[in-house]
Chain A
Amino acid sequence: MTSTSPLENPRPFVFLAAFATGGLLTLMVHFNGELARYGNPLFSSWTAHGTGTIAALVFLGLLYRRGRMKPAVRAPAPIWAYLGGISGAATVMLTSTAVNSPLALAGTLALGLSGQAIFSLAADHWGLFGLAKRRLTMRNLGALALILAGSALIILEGRSPA
């Protein structure tokens, strides 16, 4: 993956990439859910992180061979920036506990999305964890309300009780 300046990536393209990435998440949740069904949530997350590590090495090796890896000339990252994986891995423990409560899968998903959305507001407002601060607009809040309402409908009402 090359690093280009934001100006070379028109915003609609970046938005489209983010939307498509949400689709990748659906596939990932599906496959990892299958792993959890054969084993358990810990096995699923552990396996996915293991195969992911191997895949990342393969991708990096391919880029390296094509000479696409530029030597880093940027300021080094703080040590904590390497620990994002712990937060991601801990997510699995929390969700697999919540799924087995009366919230079930639907409630867990809906609350998780809300938590994610509310955190993102704080993250942009204060520029948390070293990323740029961004001013929140009414448009942001309106879009957030529509997307969360739509997600709640799909998750909570869209599944016929079979």
Chain B
Amino acid sequence: MIIAILLACSAGVLIGISRQINGRLSLSTSPLIASFWNHIVGFVFLTCLGLVIGDLLPAGAGLVPWYDYLGGPIGVVFVAAGSWVIARIGAVNTALMMIGGQMVSGVVLDLALSVPTDLGPTALGVVLVLSGIALSQSKRKA
């Protein structure tokens, strides 16, 4: 269990590291070029990994409807936008706003897809997230 907890936390840290590194690359190139390198390097890395451990093309792959492939192109915009944003408002603000946006839109998507949701805690959670965002946006004293 301890190992699983460490793995899950490390996954978050790795997300932060890649956003930081891609942000640095975008300073020397552009956010879209940084996103391109992120994807092609990740693709080569995962291809090597797949060739070693196998299962790169599982049996169900042929059944995937076309729109489920949209995750990749969306990811390109996501990485480019993240690299653009982090160079302007820093890592903490970027992480806060993205987590907030992910949570709120996730609730909306779950409601749209009729995923069983406990409305009380969910609504309270959304209020907390939005107040955190409001706090980070409120006028500075100085």
Residues of A within 8 A of B (CB): 1, 3, 6, 9, 11-12, 14-15, 17-32, 34-35, 38-40, 42-57, 59-60, 63, 69, 72, 74-78, 80-95, 97-98, 101-103, 107-108, 111-121, 123-124, 128-132, 134, 136, 139-140, 142-154, 157-160, 162
Contact = CB atoms under 8 A, between A and B. Distances in A.
A112 B51 CA distance: 28
B80 A140 contact: no
Interface of B: 1, 3-5, 7-25, 27-43, 45-47, 49-50, 53, 55-58, 60-61, 63-64, 67-82, 84-107, 109, 115-118, 121-122, 124-133, 135-138
15 contacts: A15-B93, A15-B137, A43-B57, A51-B73, A81-B28, A84-B41, A85-B43, A95-B7, A98-B7, A103-B5, A107-B8, A120-B92, A134-B90, A150-B124, A157-B122
A37 to B, nearest CB: 8
Contacts of B104: 22-23
B128 A153 contact: yes
Contacts of B77: 24
Nearest to B132: A146
A1 B30 contact: yes
A38 B64 contact: yes
Contacts of A84: 17-22, 25, 34, 37-38, 41
A1 B35 CA distance: 11
A151 B99 contact: yes
A77 B28 contact: yes
